[in-house]
Amino acid sequence: MDLVNRPRDPVDTNTRTEALNLLKAKGLYKTRARVAVIGVLLQSDSPMSQDQIAQRLRHRYDRVTIYRTLASLRSAGLVHRAFTGNRTWQFELSRNCWEDQCHPHLTCSRCGKTHCLVGLEPPIACRSYNGFVIHRQQVHFEGICPQCSPCAHTDGH
Amino acid sequence: MDLVNRPRDPVDTNTRTEALNLLKAKGLYKTRARVAVIGVLLQSDSPMSQDQIAQRLRHRYDRVTIYRTLASLRSAGLVHRAFTGNRTWQFELSRNCWEDQCHPHLTCSRCGKTHCLVGLEPPIACRSYNGFVIHRQQVHFEGICPQCSPCAHTDGH
DNA sequence: CGGGAATCTGTAACCTTGTTGCATTTTTCC
DNA sequence: GGAAAAATGCAACAAGGTTACAGATTCCCG
Ligand SMILES: [Mn+2]
Ligand SMILES: [Mn+2]
Ligand SMILES: [Zn+2]
Ligand SMILES: [Zn+2]
């Protein structure tokens, strides 16, 4: 059980405790990979791709393990996916939003990071529209994030 | 020039003429592949993936050719891409909407087809929001299309 | 504790979508 | 008709993601 506390993973004690609590609450096995992945997502303010998570964890875990870890967390409801313009999934914790009703996201064309736009209204259409039954909806933007557009606040627009 | 009229492609005379006109208007080379791809998109009321287009054309053209054909049409402004939940691009003619401001789309979980929801309001956010510069926006739904939900009109919901 | 069942992990192999290089074929225009 | 420009087919490649299976962890209960 103490093997879970692998020192090299970039997860501090508080985050690790929180991750363990989340796993416990869902009745999931407590494994190093899961603690590490949840830790990374807890410390991130934006969704992350499998590759970004793996990099953050210094490739200490196999690609497949990360995918499967995310799948477990997802089916437990702890994590959900957001789709973006490029064809990679972005994963984030299901704290304020869920896979079927998610705030909009913006993917920055310059730095490639996906940001959460929590201030914008998520619901565009209700459960059914014109014969279509709507299960999930997501809004995606492409553009430039504030960090990448220093001219944003000097620009008159 | 008559080689363009390959009889086996599922494109009738009117559609072929329309495709040739579009190519002429944009100053693009008139090739069988382009006429065929435009024809398929003209006859489709919903966006199609490369694979769907290739199937419709009975794999008479190489995958790469279809991709490059779509790239040409796209840079000429005749076609644009919409992204969906799965990681494949969906291509449609740029008639009523464009890549940077597109009506919402719904991908049916049952038949896998992507439908255009032209009645819904496209614009959610303006060009800039809270420091983010927005270049493109797209809304995507997952659900069941009317053809796949016969219970939709008998259901009380 | 200790041991067995259930579950997770790593490795390898595989699939799909999409792109690139290069030689050959078409298209255009004169 | 013939040359330049562009498009095509083929092979190879890359990235994201999934599956199979053997070996390692985790859990639970006595
Ligand atoms: Mn988010
Ligand atoms: Mn559409
Ligand atoms: Zn950025
Ligand atoms: Zn359907």
Within 7 A of a protein CB, which nucleotides of strand D? 6-12, 15-20, 25-28
Residue A117 has pLDDT above 50, yes or no: yes
pLDDT of residue B111: 84
Token pair belonging to A127: 């459960």
For A19-58, give one letter per residue: b (16+ CB within 10 A) or e: bbebbeeeebeebbbbbbbbbbbbeeebbbbbebbbebbe
Is pLDDT above 90 for A125?
no
Closest approach of chain A CAs to the CA of B104, in angstroms? 9
pLDDT of the residue at B2: 44
Region of poorest pLDDT, from A84-93, A122-131, B126-135 = A122-131
Compute the half-sphere exposure of residue B64: CA atoms within 13 Å on the CB side of its CA.
Answer: 0
Q: Which of A134-138, B1-5, B129-133, B143-147 has the lowest mean pLDDT?
A: B1-5
Residue B154 has a pLDDT of: 47
User: What would the mean pLDDT of A22-45 be, rounded to a whole number?
Assistant: 96
Higher pLDDT, B18 or A119: B18
Q: How far apart are CA A139 and CA A66, in angstroms?
A: 26
Residues 6+ apart with CB under 8 A from A60: A8, A9, A36
Q: Angle A69-B83-A148 (CA atoms, 0-180°, nearest 5)?
A: 80
DSSP letter assigned to residue A104: -
- Residue of A98 and B144 predicted with greater confidence: B144
Q: What is the pLDDT of residue B140?
A: 86
Evaluate if the CB of B3 falls below 7 Å from strand D: no
Answer for B65: CB within 7 Å of strand C: no
Q: How far apart are CA A147 and CA A113, in angstroms?
A: 11
pLDDT at A123: 55
Average pLDDT over residues B29-52: 94
Q: Which nucleotide lies closest to A87 by the C1' atom and the CA atom? A: D16
Residue A144: list chain B partners with CB under 8 A.
132-133, 135
Instruction: Tell me the Ramachandran region of residue A112: left when phi exceeds 0, alpha when psi lies from -120 to 50, beta otherwise.
Output: left
- Does pTM surpass 0.85? no
For A52-126, list the strands marked E by DSSP.
Answer: 79-83, 89-93, 105-108, 114-116
Residue A5 pLDDT > 70: no
Q: How far is the CA of B88 from the centre of ligand 2 (A)?
A: 15
Contacts of A143 in chain B (CB under 8 A): 132-136
Nearest residue of B to residue A118 by CA position?
B130
Give the start-to-end residue ranges of the domains of chain A.
13-143
Asked if the model's pLDDT at residue B65 lies above 80, the reply is: yes
Residue A90 contacts residue A82 (beta carbons within 8 Å)? yes
B66 nearest nt, CA–C1':
D8
**Which of B5-14, B32-41, B128-137 is predicted most confidently?**
B32-41
CA distance A45 to A103: 13
Interface probe with A: pick from B132, B135, B137, most Cβ of A within 10 Å: B132
**Is B113's pLDDT higher than 80?**
yes
Distance (Å, whole) CA A23 – CA B106: 34
CA distance B2 to chain A (A): 39
Residue of A141, A147, A148, A155 best to disrupt the B interface, most CBs of B under 10 A: A141
Cα–Cα nearest to B116, from B89, B137, B88, B97: B97
The predicted pLDDT at position B3 comes to 47
Q: Which of residues 80-99 of B touch A (CB under 8 A)?
A: 83-85, 87-88
Q: Which pLDDT value is given to residue A2?
A: 45
Predicted pLDDT of residue B26:
96
- pLDDT exceeds 70 at position B6: no
- Measure the CA–CA gap between B140 and A138, rounded to whole angstroms: 5
* Tally of CB atoms within 10 A around B93: 16
Average pLDDT over residues B28-49: 95
Mean pLDDT of B110-126: 76
Q: Is residue A129 very low, low, confident or very high in pLDDT (cuts 50, 70, 90)?
A: confident
Nearest-5° Cα angle at A88, A86 to A89? 125
Of the candidates A112, A116, A142, A121, the residue with the CA atom closest to the CA atom of residue B138: A142
pLDDT reading at A64 higher than 90: yes
Task: Return the exposure string of B59-85: e unless at least 16 CB atoms fall within 10 Å of the residue's CB, then b.
Answer: eebeeebbeebbebbbebebbbbbbbb
How confident is the model over B101-108, as a mean pLDDT?
Answer: 84
Phi, psi (5° rounding) for residue B29? -60, 140
What's the whole-number mean pLDDT along residues A32-52? Answer: 94
May I ask the CATH architecture of the domain B13-143? Orthogonal Bundle (1.10)
